[in-house]
Amino acid sequence: MPRGLCHRHGADRPCTCAMGNLYRFVEPVVLLLLKKHGPSYGYELISALNDHALTDARIERAALYRTLKQLEDNGYVVSEWDVSGSGPARHVYRLTDSGEKHLLEWSIVLEKLSQAMSNFVSDVKAQ
Amino acid sequence: MPRGLCHRHGADRPCTCAMGNLYRFVEPVVLLLLKKHGPSYGYELISALNDHALTDARIERAALYRTLKQLEDNGYVVSEWDVSGSGPARHVYRLTDSGEKHLLEWSIVLEKLSQAMSNFVSDVKAQ
DNA sequence: ATATACTATATGCAAGTTACACATAGAGGT
DNA sequence: ACCTCTATGTGTAACTTGCATATAGTATAT
């Protein structure tokens, strides 16, 4: 990061920049974007990702490309090269059935986590 | 972890075990416990921590001791040694004013994150 | 006496993660 | 020739973490 020092938002307000990329939940958001908008590629996903991200941190390109590779290694997406358009070839990823299941699992995990966080916040406010 | 393989819950249900310790939000939960129950020490905190954790993952002792040290390095807690009881000395931590502020910052971050996750879950269900 | 169980704190390390920088390359405009 | 935009990746030092290990005080049973 380096952790604990945010260059983007400064020291004047709390932000999630001190959390790692896993904390930014890149994986589930990519899975959802692929489900909602169909097959896509890194360069296109990066802007959508920053619009739909769960935290206020900017998603690194490097993190996204590595996440996509990892998703493919795990069988959650499959990819092919699109050389039809002009400009550099696009590495296009498509969600698999396994990936859809994985998205639902993420949904369950995040629903519980959301509730737990909400309870935590109430607990803090009650003090 | 190793990430992506949960030995505790098996492969049959989604869990948060594949997330790292940062994901388990050890820091804010420790801060809240110290605020609610007053000064405490690692061995006592570890069980309370596992009861109040935001995720279903077991909090590692090593992670807790390192978190406590880090909190002290950042001025969010101060510590002293309690040698009054029987048994080994206890490293007792107490929340500082700065630590209370930090807890409130965490609360803001987690409130936003909770809402974002909740929206994400609705979005998944809408598909 | 000695074994073992519980309390309590902490470090060592291999494996994994990440923020930032860097490398590569196609196409279009000036 | 040079710049800009599109597009995909890798290199690496610094950091994080899961698991094992080290240390040590006290109590209870054998």
- Run means of pLDDT, 10 residues per run, chain B, 127 residues: 54 67 88 97 94 87 95 95 93 97 91 94 95
Compute the count of residue pairs across chains A and B with CB atoms less than 8 Å apart: 106
Asked whether the beta carbons of B41 and B61 are under 8 A apart, the reply is no
Domain covering A26-126 assigned CATH 1.10.10.10 in the classification = yes
Q: Could you give the percent of chain A with pLDDT greater than 70?
A: 85
Give the three-class secondary structure for A93.
strand
Residue type, A32: L
- Please compute the mean of the pLDDT values over residues A1-5 and round it to a whole number: 45
Q: Does A1 touch chain B (CB under 8 A)?
A: no
Which A residues 17-56 touch B at CB under 8 Å? 19-20, 22-23, 25, 28-29, 32, 35-36, 53-56
Sequence ranges of the domains in chain B: 24-125
A80 φ/ψ angles, rounded to the nearest 5 degrees: -150, 165
Pick B107's closest partner by Cβ from A32, A56, A121.
A121
Query: pLDDT by residue (tens digit) across A45-103?
Result: 999 998 888 888 788 999 999 999 999 998 999 999 999 989 999 999 999 999 999 99
A107, A99 Cβ separation under 8 angstroms: no
The class of domain B24-125 in CATH terms is: mainly alpha
Report how far residue A57's alpha carbon sits from residue A66's, in angstroms, rounded to the nearest whole number. Answer: 17
Determine contact, residues B61/B45, Cβ cutoff 8 Å: no
At residue B50, the pLDDT reads: 87
CA of A81 to C1' of C29 (A): 27
Q: Which of the residues A27, A51, A54, A120 would you substitute to probe the B interface, choosing the one with the greatest number of B C-beta atoms within 10 Å?
A: A120
Sequence-distant (6+) residues with CB within 8 A of A93 are: A34, A39, A40, A41, A68, A71, A72, A77, A78, A79
Q: Which residue of A has its CA nearest to B114?
A: A114
Give CA separation, A25 vs A31, B16, B88, in Å. 10, 12, 41
Q: Is the pLDDT of residue A26 over 80?
A: yes
- Span CA (B1) to C1' (D19), Å: 9
